[in-house]
Structure 1
């Protein structure tokens, strides 16, 4: 299996040397050159691992790490000249799996890449047969991946969509209030616009349609939302 490593580094000389060294070990590197489209490149190329510099134009690596975490659980290793404890804490809190400080030894980078790939895809990867799943009338949610399955169809979710789906599936066919959903999805509701919940509901509704379940996520006027377990219009 050829693993794809996405390299996000705005110093062209470092990026070239790092890419060359990584490819010596049989990995394929994807070098990002448009730093306004990091998330789009990730979604399009679907790499197995991301090496992400913190000091980037416009938005920093912490920002892009959080964006990638919204759509994927694939390993992310941050690279930075910042070596303070707080910077490393911020990296982990942003969703990174590891943190490498510059200047670095290339062999250390390779060792960390190998470690993360083994953990996610190799000998140390979790046993899929033992992972948590929620089932409802043939609809199956794997929260940790996170994925939704129905019949032979499947779709990837963001972290927020997975949390939303789990709450609605566990409560079905009862309705769940908007206040409860916002409390479960966001720690600090004071900075969350209610429209943000609407957007996540709309995205989940679209994901359900993608796997063949139509008009299942219903709006309960004046209250919130519920899953219609009869799976209408299939």
Structure 2
């Protein structure tokens, strides 16, 4: 049973979501004191966090930053505000997905299932290390390492890199990436993929690898492999 921490201050909506998710066999926990979100996060040890943007004390962006400073656990944002910048900000802070209120419950459950499937299926893979352009990609630790240093990736960033590295020197279309990441492209904007790739490239820049993630205009992306690199 997956454990979900639902950070939502609308008690009616919280109870409705909790009841529906409990019916899908999820273990849902809430927040009683919105100044103690991190304490509840540490105590609960959830598999997924669903968080509203507008909250008492501090907004959801603040708590996303706090969670990301300690954990790569998947985060799904909820928002009643109709601002495109909210989605961009969410992705830049490391959220895995974003859903606009009001929403159909089928859309919410589809996003939750896709995230959990994507994140927690890694442990069943036999290949956990991959070499690429002189670096080691660790699928279990969510890291990329080379002689310059190590960067830690979010689940989305790692999944994107994995898809590209597994087909290195080949173009992976935006449509293929979106479908692999979110299972059904109807539930995600094209801009979300762009934000995730840009964030991945920025992290890789810090160890000299950002240039090896190439944008193929009108097509997709490619992980370029150096000639003297080898596969694991």
- The TM-score, its normalising length taken from structure 1, stands at 0.55
> Which of 128, 153, 156 is matched with 1:130 structurally?
128
Structure 2 match to 1:33: 32
1:132–1:30 distance in 2 versus 1, CA, 3 Å: farther
Q: 1:145 Cα shift?
A: 3.3
Distance 2:40 2:32 in 1: 10
Q: How does 1:101-140 map to 2 (within 5 A)?
A: 101-122=100-121, 127=125, 129-131=127-129
CA-atom RMSD in angstroms: 2.9
Q: 1:20 Cα shift?
A: 0.3
Distance 2:74 2:126 in 1: 17
Distance 1:46 1:85 in 2: 31
Distance 2:129 2:113 in 1: 23
Structure 2 match to 1:62: 61
1:3–1:60 distance in 2 versus 1, CA, 3 Å: same
Count of aligned pairs between the two proteins: 144
Structure 2 match to 1:48: 47
Q: 1:109 Cα shift?
A: 0.7
Structure 1 match to 2:141: 145
Q: 1:127 Cα shift?
A: 3.2
Q: Which runs of 4+ in 1 moved over 6 A?
A: none
Distance 1:132 1:38 in 2: 36
Give the greater-gyration-radius structure (CA). Answer: 1
Question: Is the 8 Å Cα contact of residues 119 and 125 (structure 1) preserved in structure 2?
Answer: no
Structure 1 match to 2:220: none
Distance 1:61 1:144 in 2: 28
Distance 1:46 1:120 in 2: 15
1:184-222: CA deviation from partner (whole Å, max 9, x where unpaired): 69xxxxxxxxxxxxxxxxxxxxxxxxxxxxxxxxxxxxx
- The TM-score, its normalising length taken from structure 2, stands at 0.55
Distance 2:99 2:123 in 1: 22
- Uncovered stretches (5+) of structure 2, i.e. residues with no partner: 132-137, 144-151, 154-205, 208-232
- Could you say which structure has the greater relative contact order, defined with CA pairs below 8 angstroms and 6 or more residues apart? 2
